Chain A
Amino acid sequence: MSLQDKYKQLIDAANAGGVSNLQVAEQDNVLHIEGSAPDGATKDKLWDIYNQIDPDFRAGDLIMNVNVAASAGTKAKVTTETSNLNIRKGPGTDQPIVGKAAHNEIVTLISKTNDQWWLIKTDDGEEGYAYAQYLSPQ
């Protein structure tokens, strides 16, 4: 069974969910799916399907880089497990911490440095880079 068949449900859901710039390509026995999801719910749904097809992500045959499309000024919620989110001077965990955003706090996106680091601003005026995995665009 080809990887596109194995993950057909996922690709269909990405199309149905309105994922833009969707790219599906197989390389070295790994399927790469890229695109921009219109909202966090669509992204979560895709990850639920991925986890159903490949429980605990053991197969090592899919890289899914689908991120939520968010432009400058978008509000994002801090979705850490429980802790505060570090705001850093630059994009990297080796950068000094210049502030913190609380769990569930709403911050504003200034720009996306890359898929990992976003420049954000809190309502208190703290500005810096935060790890995108813990930010959910609203």
Chain B
Amino acid sequence: MKFVKNYLILFLLSSAVFIGCKPKDADFKAQIEKTLQASPETAGVTVDVKDGVATLTGEVKDEATREKAGSAAKDVNGIKNVENHVTVTPPPMVETPPVQINNDTTLAQGVKDATKDFPTVTANVNDGVITLTGSIKRSSLQTLIMSLNTLKPKKIDNQLTIK
């Protein structure tokens, strides 16, 4: 009878270990998912765990993020191996539209209007660049610079002597 009892205990223990495998994989999966979801860049990665082996799939923007997703699985205690099938898809290049610069004729007309009240200032326009020479009172400098900034030049080269 004692003999049978021992066998029964052994049987119960072994079956507990055997059955225990499934929920453990599910726990691993939940734990890895939690880490992946925590960061927006790895949130799109999906994970599956079978017999302690984690398989990662999905797309990320760069290699570093791919490795980060791998670590999220590897760092879980009990994970035996990680199959990292995550692919790297770089985001499309966004073309920034060029800044609109007025042509020299438009700029020259605008500069003439802007400098009308400052007879000691000479302004030249060349290839979109307004070059200021001569002199100006400090109190008037900002007024002049402000109105020149509205003309959409490429650059303002201020060589004015400030009095």
A residues sitting closer than 8 Å to B (CB atoms) are: 25, 27-28, 30, 32, 47, 51, 56-58, 60-61, 63-65, 67, 81, 92-94, 115-117, 131-133
Contacts and interface: CB of A to CB of B under 8 A. Distances in A.
Contacts of B96: 25
Contacts of B147: 116, 131-133
Interface residues of B, number: 29
B150 A67 contact: yes
Contacts, number: 66
Nearest to B143: A133
A116 B146 CA distance: 11
A47 B110 contact: no
Nearest to A51: B142
Given A93-B113, A93-B116, A133-B114, 6 more contacts: A32-B99, A57-B145, A57-B158, A63-B155, A116-B113, A131-B147
Interface in B120-163: 138-143, 145-147, 149-158, 162
Nearest to B144: A133
A133 B155 contact: no
Contacts of A27: 98-99, 154
B123 to A, nearest CB: 13
* Interface class of chain A by DSSP: mixed
A109 to B, nearest CB: 16
B156 A65 contact: no
Contact of A65 (B109, B114, B149): B149
B84 to A, nearest CB: 35
Given A47-B142, A131-B113, A133-B147, A28 B154 contact: yes
B112 interface: yes
B113 A65 contact: no
Contact of A47 (B109, B138, B146, B152): B146
A63 B114 contact: no
Contact of B140 (A51, A67, A81, A92): A81
